[in-house]
């Protein structure tokens, strides 16, 4: 009995305790760097792998597993899935931090961009609030006059639990497309009963 309770407690902890996923994006000196936790993703290798996979796919015929996965994702109604995500009660928690440093050669353009950048962050906050439970949203905008650069550092920490992932998968299944003929046939069968 004690072993069963211990296994049940561990299962509940695994399902419902959030796991932080830290993602960091840096755009400095016209180079994009992506970090997951503190490990840097090499984007050049990813691009090379995609090119190799495209060449292999051209030579190979698609397998049954690939056809099934493509069919599953093609049946999801994107509009209803987004609507379900917006109305989701169990949203993923998010902490967001952004540092924007920029400068333009024209001082007037730099000043105008300063005002628009604050409005941009308000828009980003509104969009994130639709899909996530935003716990902490910080941004810092710094500017210099008469130079030419844009540096952006974005850090997001997603608190994900397996229960929320399962629920999002349920929402994806719930928003799959059904044939109208099947739906009308079901309605006529219900009316006959």
DSSP line for 121-178: HHHHHHHHHHHEEEEEEEEEEEEEES--EEEEEEEEEEEE-HHHHHHHHHHHHHTB--
Tens-place pLDDT, residues 15-27? 888 889 999 998 8
Contacts of 38 (CB under 8 A, 6+ apart): none
pLDDT score recorded for residue 191:
53
Assess whether pLDDT exceeds 60 at residue 187: no
Tens of pLDDT along 140-186? 999 998 888 899 999 999 998 888 888 888 888 888 876 554 445 44
Would the pLDDT of 135 be above 70?
yes
Q: Band the pLDDT of 31: cuts 50, 70, 90.
A: confident
Portion of the chain with pLDDT greater than 70, in percent: 77
pLDDT digits (tens, 9 = 90+) for 49-71: 666 666 666 655 455 555 555 55
């Amino acid at each position: 009995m004690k072993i069963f309770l211990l296994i049940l407690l561990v299962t509940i902890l695994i399902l419902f305790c959030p796991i932080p996923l830290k993602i960091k994006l840096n755009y400095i000196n016209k180079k994009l760097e992506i970090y997951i936790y503190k490990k840097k993703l090499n984007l050049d290798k990813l691009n090379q792998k995609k090119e190799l996979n495209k060449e292999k796919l051209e030579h190979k015929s698609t397998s049954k597993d690939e056809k099934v996965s493509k069919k599953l994702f093609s049946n999801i109604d994107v509009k209803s899935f987004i609507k379900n995500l917006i109305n989701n009660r169990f949203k993923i928690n998010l902490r967001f931090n952004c540092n924007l440093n920029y400068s333009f050669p024209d001082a007037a353009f730099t000043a105008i961009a300063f005002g628009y950048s604050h409005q941009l962050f308000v828009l980003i906050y509104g969009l994130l609030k639709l899909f996530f439970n935003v716990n902490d949203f910080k941004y810092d905008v710094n500017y210099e006059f008469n130079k030419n650069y844009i540096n952006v550092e974005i850090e997001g920490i997603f608190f994900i639990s397996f229960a929320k992932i399962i629920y999002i998968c349920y929402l994806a299944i719930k928003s799959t497309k059904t044939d109208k003929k099947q739906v009308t046939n079901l309605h006529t069968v219900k009316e006959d009963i």
